[in-house]
Chains A and B, each alone.
Chain A
Amino acid sequence: MTDSITAEELGEKIKEISIAEFFEKNKHLLGYENPTRSLITVIKEAVENSLDACEEAGILPDIFVSLKEVAPDRFKIIVEDNGPGIVESKVPVAFAKFLVGSKFYRLRESRGIQGIGIHGAVLYSQLTTGKPVKVISSTGKDVHEFELMIDVLKNEPKIISHKKEKNPKKWHGVRIELEVEGKYIRGSQSVIEYMKQTAIANPFARIVFDSPDGKVTFERGVKEMPKQPKEIKPHPYGVELGILRRMLSITKARTLIAFLTSEFSRVGRTSAEQICRLAKLETTKKPQDLDHEELERLHKAMQMVKLKLPPTDCLSPLGEHLITEGLKKELDAEYFVAVTRPPAVYRGYPFLVEVGLCYGGNLPVDKPAKLYRFANKIPLLYNQSGCALTESVCEVDWRRYGFSQSEGQLPVGPLAILVHFVSVWVPFTSEGKQAIANYPEIMKEVKLALQDAGRKLAVYIRHKNKLKERKLRQELFTRYIPELAESLSKLTEKEKEKIIEVLQKFIKKGEIDGEEIGSKEKA
C-alpha cells in the first residue's frame, strides 16, 4: 500500500510537474525546438520585452545585447535597455512566474501576447544550465539586483539573492543576464539576421549587438516613435468560444445585457437585446449562470447580429516614413517606397498591412527578391514558405513592374520586399508564431499594398531607364560630333572647331530628345 497515493496527492503532483512538463512538451511550439533556434528565441524575448517597455513609456529605445560563448555550446546573454524599469516588488514575478492570461484580454497591438515569453527564456536557461538569471532593474531610484530562479513545482519565483545599490547617475531600465545552451550560426536564420530585421522594423531604436563575431551597431534612424496604440475591447465577431466562457466567468457585470455592452466593442443596448433574443436568453440572466448549451447559443447569436466593424485606433502601424527609414538604414539600395494600407477587419479583428520595397543598389540582380516579414514589428524568420504573407507576395504579378517571375514564385531582380502585418490578434498558423494564416481579407490587403508600391517603383524604374538612355544617347552623339564636323569641314571648307561648337549646342541645350522624328516621312 505504500505505493498508493490519495487523489489529493495526485492532484498536487499534477500541479507540481505542470510547468516544467508543459514547457518540455511544448518547447517546439514555443521556439525552443533546437539549440540554434533556442538561442534566437531567448534573445528575441528579452529584446521584445525591452522594446515594448520603452515604447509604452515613450522612451527612444537604446538596447544593448551581448552574446558570448562561455563554454562549448553554452552562451551568456545580456540584454539591457533604457526603459522605465520595473519596481522592486514586481521584478521576481515579472521574470520568474508564468503569468498565463495577464495580457489575455488585452486587445491591443503589442509584440508579446501570451505572457510566456521571457519566462520561457528564464525556464530554458534554468533547465539547460541550472543557473539563476540575474536581473538588474531601476526606475531611476535605487538599483536592485536579483538572482532569480523559477520554482517549477509551485510556479513561484525563487529569489536567490537581492542587492540594493545607490544610483547616482539616475539610470533606469532593465538588464537581464542569463546563461543558456545553444548554437550560434550565421545566415538567414540567425541572431544577427534577427537583430538586423528588428532594426529595420524599429528604426527609432538604437541597438548595439556584441556578438561572438564582434560588435555591431544598428544606429537609430529616426527620432519619432509610432503612436501608442489604444486598447480596445473584443468585437463579438472575433471572439472564440473558450474565451467567451472565461470572460463570462470573470466579468463583474451582473446581467447578460450589461456583460455584452460593457465587455465588447460596438455592442449597444439594442444590439445586446437582439443577441439575447436570438440566443433565447434572458437579458437579466447572470453571466456566470450560463450552461454549455446556452453559451454556444450566445456565441452563435453574437456572430449573427449586424454590428459596426471594430474601431481601428488600436493599431499602431510604423507608417510609410518609418518603414522607408528603417529600410534605408539597413539596406544598401537606391530607391525605397512604402505603402501603409488603411485598417481592415478579419473575423472581427482590426488589422492593417504595410509594405516597403527597396530597389537597386547592392541588391543582387539575378536572385529572387529578399522578403522580410513582420508581425507587430517582430521579424518572422522561420516558415517563410508556409506564410500567407509570402503567398500574397508570390501572387502579385511582378512582371508588370519590370521583374522576371516564374508562376507562383518570388520575383527575381534587385529587390527587397518588406511586409508588415499589424493587428490586435495575429492569426499565426502555430504557436511557433512564424507564419500567418491565409485569410482572404489579409491576403487581399497585402496584395493591394504591394501593387500600389509596385506601381510607384515601376515609375521610378522607367524614369531611371529614361535617364540612362538619355545619357547613353548624349555620349553617343558626343562621340559622333567630331567625326561629322571633320567631314563637314572638308565639304564646306569651314573650320572644324566652329562646326563642333555649333553641334555641341544641341547637347548642352538637351534638345536631342524632342527632335527625334520618325525615320520615314513621305516628302
Chain B
Amino acid sequence: MEVKKKLKELGLKVLSEAEKGQNPCLEVPIRSLSNVKYDQQTRMITLGNAVAKRYFFNIGHVRKFVQTVEAAALSKELLEVDKHLSLREAFYRMKRTLPNSNINLVDDQEESNAAIEDLELITGASREQLHINANKMGSVAGKVVIEDKGDTVDWSKLGSGGWSIPSNVEDIVFKKVSAKFVLYMEKAAEWERLHEDRVWEKLNCIIISSQGQATRGIRRLLQRLHIEHKLPIYVLTDLDIWGFYIYSVLKYGSISLSHISEKLTIPDAKFLGLTVDDVLKYDLKKHLIKFDETDVKRMKQVEQYPWFRDNKEWQRQFKMLKELGGKVELAALSSKGITFISDKYVPEKIKNHEFLE
C-alpha cells in the first residue's frame, strides 16, 4: 500500500474510534528483548507479535500518542510536497508549546526520533519511506558506477573524500559493479588510510566506513551490494567488544531495528579483524588499552548472544580477549609501518581466508 494512504488510514482509524466513543488507540509492536527472537532459519533478529496499546485518554500514554500522530501528519505533509526532512528538522517541525501551558509537544530530539520510530513500527514503512532522513555519514570508494537522482556517479573518481552515503539509498541504481568484495570499517581514519593507499584499486574492492555503529543507509547499501551483486562483505573493526558488536549488528540486526531486519542484515558478513591471533602474530600486545568496567560488563552480555554462544571460534576469541585483558585498535598497526594495514594486513588476511564468521 502506498505510504501516504497508510498514513491517512491511520488517522481515519483513530478518528472513527473516537467517534464511536472508544478510547482512540494505536497498536505499536513492542521492541524489547522479550519480543524479539533470533531466527535460526533466516539468521536474523526478528520482531515478535506483541504490541503495546497506546491510548489517547491515558495519562501515561497521551503524550506519546499525540507525538506519534503528529509524526504521521508531518510525514504525510512531506510526501505530499515530495520533500525530505532530517531527524533534527523533524524535531523542530514537531516542537511547539501547548496553549495555556508550559508543555512542549516534544522536548528534545530523542522524543521526536522515538515518535518517528514508532510510526515506522505502526505503518511498517521505513523512516526513509516516510521522507525523514538521518544525518548522512560515511564514505565509499571503489570500482562502481551508480545513478542517483539522475546523476551518474563513479565511486572511483571522487578524489580524496569519496562519495558520501546518503541516509536513503533505496533509489540508487547500480550501473556497473566491477569490484569483487566490500571492506567495511568502523572508523573514518582506516578508510582514509586504505583510500590514500588505493587499496580498493589494488584489491578491486569497495571500501566503506561510517563512524561507530553503521547507519541505516550504510547497512542498506551493504546489503544491496551483497544481495544484488553477490559481493562478500568484510568487517574491519578494533579488537574490543564494541567492534564485535558492530559486526554482530551488521550481520544479525539489533533489537531497536528488529522491525526492518530483513532490509538491513547481512547474515553472510565476515569478520576480518582485529582478532587476538592478529595481536599475537604482529606483536601488538604492547599497545594494549586496559578494559574498564563497562567493557567487561558488555562482554559478558555479548558473548551470550546465541550466534556467538554456539560458535567455537568466537568463544575462543572471547576467552583469549578476556585473558588479554585489554583492547587493541586497528590504528596500532601503523606501528608496523605507515601502509602496513594496506600492504600486508588486509591483503594477507583476505588471501589466506583469515576471517571469522
Contact = CB atoms under 8 A, between A and B. Distances in A.
A520 B99 CA distance: 30
Main secondary structure of the interface of A (DSSP, over half): helix
Contact of B53 (A483, A503, A517): A517
A360 B351 CA distance: 82
A518 to B, nearest CB: 8
Interface string A473-500: 1001101101110111011111000010
B173 interface: no
A488 B11 contact: yes
B55 A520 contact: no
Contacts of A3: none
Interface residues of B, number: 43
A427 B190 CA distance: 92
Given A473-B59, A502-B19, A512-B57, A491 B98 contact: no
Contact of A476 (B30, B59, B105): B59
A407 interface: no
Interface in B68-93: 69-70, 72-73, 76-77
Interface residues of A, number: 31
A431 to B, nearest CB: 61
B346 interface: no
B73 A523 contact: no
A165 interface: no
Contacts of B96: 483
B12 interface: yes
A515 interface: yes
A343 B311 CA distance: 82
A493 B14 CA distance: 13
Contacts of A385: none
A506 interface: yes
Given A520-B30, A521-B52, A515 B15 contact: no
Q: In this complex, which of B57, B62, B66 has the most chain A Cβ atoms within 10 angstroms of its Cβ? A: B57
A166 interface: no
A522 interface: yes
A517 B72 CA distance: 24
Given A483-B98, A484-B69, A503 B49 contact: no
Given A479-B99, A487-B70, A502-B15, A523 B49 contact: yes
A484 B65 contact: yes
Interface in B105-133: 105
Contacts of B100: 479
B250 interface: no
A478 B195 CA distance: 58
Nearest to B100: A479
A477 B62 CA distance: 8
A476 B62 contact: yes
A348 B59 CA distance: 59
B98 A522 contact: no
A2 interface: no
Interface in B327-352: none
B106 to A, nearest CB: 11
A490 B80 CA distance: 11
B72 A491 contact: yes
A480 B62 contact: yes
A479 B99 CA distance: 7
A494 B51 CA distance: 28
Contact of A499 (B15, B27, B55, B59): B15
Contact of B103 (A479, A484, A512): A479
A4 interface: no
Main secondary structure of the interface of B (DSSP, over half): mixed
A291 interface: no
B114 to A, nearest CB: 15
B7 interface: yes
Given A515-B23, A516-B58, A519-B60, A490 B53 contact: no
Q: In this complex, which of B14, B49, B100 has the most chain A Cβ atoms within 10 angstroms of its Cβ? A: B14
Contact of A488 (B15, B30, B51, B61): B15
A491 B7 contact: yes
B10 interface: yes
Contacts of B105: 483
Contact of B76 (A490, A506, A511): A490
Interface in B28-48: 30
B26 to A, nearest CB: 11
Contact of B27 (A484, A490, A523): A523
Given A491-B7, A515-B23, A522-B50, A506 B57 contact: yes
A491 B56 CA distance: 16
A482 B50 contact: no
Nearest to A516: B58
B54 interface: yes
Contacts of A522: 49-51
B160 interface: no
B62 A487 contact: no
A350 B213 CA distance: 83
A523 B51 contact: yes
B77 A490 contact: yes
Given A473-B59, A487-B69, A517-B58, A482 B99 contact: yes
Contacts of A499: 15, 18
Given A483-B105, A491-B73, A502-B19, A523 B50 contact: yes
A523 to B, nearest CB: 4
A480 B60 contact: no
B73 A487 contact: yes
Contact of A520 (B10, B15, B52, B58): B52
Q: In this complex, which of A490, A494, A499 has the most chain B Cβ atoms within 10 angstroms of its Cβ? A: A490
B8 A492 contact: yes
B112 to A, nearest CB: 13
Interface string B1-21: 000000110111011001101
Nearest to B29: A523
Which 10 residue pairs are nearest across A and B when measured between Cβ atoms? A491-B11, A515-B23, A490-B73, A487-B73, A492-B11, A523-B51, A487-B69, A479-B98, A487-B70, A512-B57
Given A487-B70, A490-B73, A506-B57, 13 more contacts: A484-B66, A488-B73, A491-B12, A492-B11, A499-B15, A502-B18, A506-B18, A511-B21, A516-B55, A517-B23, A519-B52, A519-B54, A522-B49
20 contacts: A480-B56, A483-B66, A487-B72, A488-B69, A488-B73, A490-B11, A491-B7, A491-B76, A492-B8, A493-B8, A502-B18, A503-B56, A506-B57, A515-B23, A516-B59, A517-B53, A519-B61, A520-B50, A521-B52, A521-B53
